Chain A
Amino acid sequence: KAGVTQTPRYLIKTRGQQVTLSCSPISGHRSVSWYQQTPGQGLQFLFEYFSETQRNKGNFPGRFSGRQFSNSRSEMNVSTLELGDSALYLCASSLGGVPPDTQYFGPGTRLTVL
């Protein structure tokens, strides 16, 4: 079974621009969660989507948004980019059911904001 895929793998943007990242979950998984990894803050939860609905949200500003499509693929959007948004963005998929509902991660998108 194919794993979680993320595109693009690397991205360079400038301040003020916006960016869209894509995540394709493992086949059959209906939940997609997004995380931001930075050297200072570690891995932090952004939000989770299940059946095209946001079920949970972390403590990030409204510039960070996402959506999920009927095939469970998810996109994350960051508007008005800031230098501090430079990070590795990881998505993880799971069945979305009973605990522990193990999450499986993609390789990440490395975003650099100049």
Chain B
Amino acid sequence: DQQVKQNSPSLSVQEGRISILNCDYTNSMFDYFLWYKKYPAEGPTFLISISSIKDKNEDGRFTVFLNKSAKHLSLHIVPSQPGDSAVYFCAARPAGSGNTGKLIFGQGTTLQVKP
């Protein structure tokens, strides 16, 4: 049962435009959502997170939006740069003291930013 889903395996955008990566979840018992970026042969790099009680968090070119009623979050990258080309993972942190250290990941979306 995939609790965190990224339904778009890939996305291609032009440099300077906005990239929007989407993520859906099925379990309401997550307290934080995170986005990671992964280059080949490297581990995931943390980008930005959002608490389940918020609906927006911004850090530089990256903004994450959370729509709790739709169980949907999205990552906006503005403006997109060729160096942003990577695989992006959405992850959710289950709430509760029994779920320490555990993240549930989506399958990833490969973003290609064309010069």
List chain A positions with a Cβ less than 8 A from chain B. Answer: 4, 6, 31-33, 35, 42-45, 47-50, 55-56, 58, 90, 92, 94, 96, 99-108
- CB contacts between A and B, total, < 8 Å: 77
Dominant secondary structure at the A interface = strand
Contacts A4-B43, A43-B89; A102 near B99 (Cβ below 8 A): no
CA separation between A49 and B100, bound complex, in Å?
Answer: 9
B62-83 near A? 1/0 per residue, CB < 8 Å? 0000000000000000000000
Q: Please, which residues of chain A bring their CB within 8 A of the CB of B49?
A: 100, 102
The residue that B32 contacts in the complex, of A31, A35, A47, A100, with Cβ under 8 A, is A100
Kindly report which residue of chain A lies nearest to residue B46, judged by CB atoms.
A102
CA separation between A99 and B93, bound complex, in Å?
Answer: 9
Q: Looking at the complex, which of B12-20, B21-29, B101-109 is the stretch in contact with chain A?
A: B101-109
The residue that B101 contacts in the complex, of A33, A42, A90, A105, with Cβ under 8 A, is A33
Kindly report which residue of chain B lies nearest to residue A100, judged by CB atoms.
B32
Q: Is the CB of A50 within 8 A of B101?
A: yes
List chain B positions with a Cβ less than 8 A from chain A. Answer: 31-32, 34, 36, 41-46, 49, 51, 89, 91, 93, 98-108
CA separation between A103 and B14, bound complex, in Å?
Answer: 31
Kindly report which residue of chain A lies nearest to residue B41, judged by CB atoms.
A107
Q: Is the CB of B93 within 8 A of A105?
A: no
Q: Is the CB of A48 within 8 A of B104?
A: no
Kindly report which residue of chain A lies nearest to residue B48, judged by CB atoms.
A102
Q: Is the CB of B31 within 8 A of A55?
A: no
CA separation between A47 and B102, bound complex, in Å?
Answer: 8
Closest 5 CB pairs of A and B: A48-B101, A105-B43, A43-B105, A100-B32, A33-B101
Contacts A90-B43, A107-B41, A108-B43; A102 near B98 (Cβ below 8 A): no
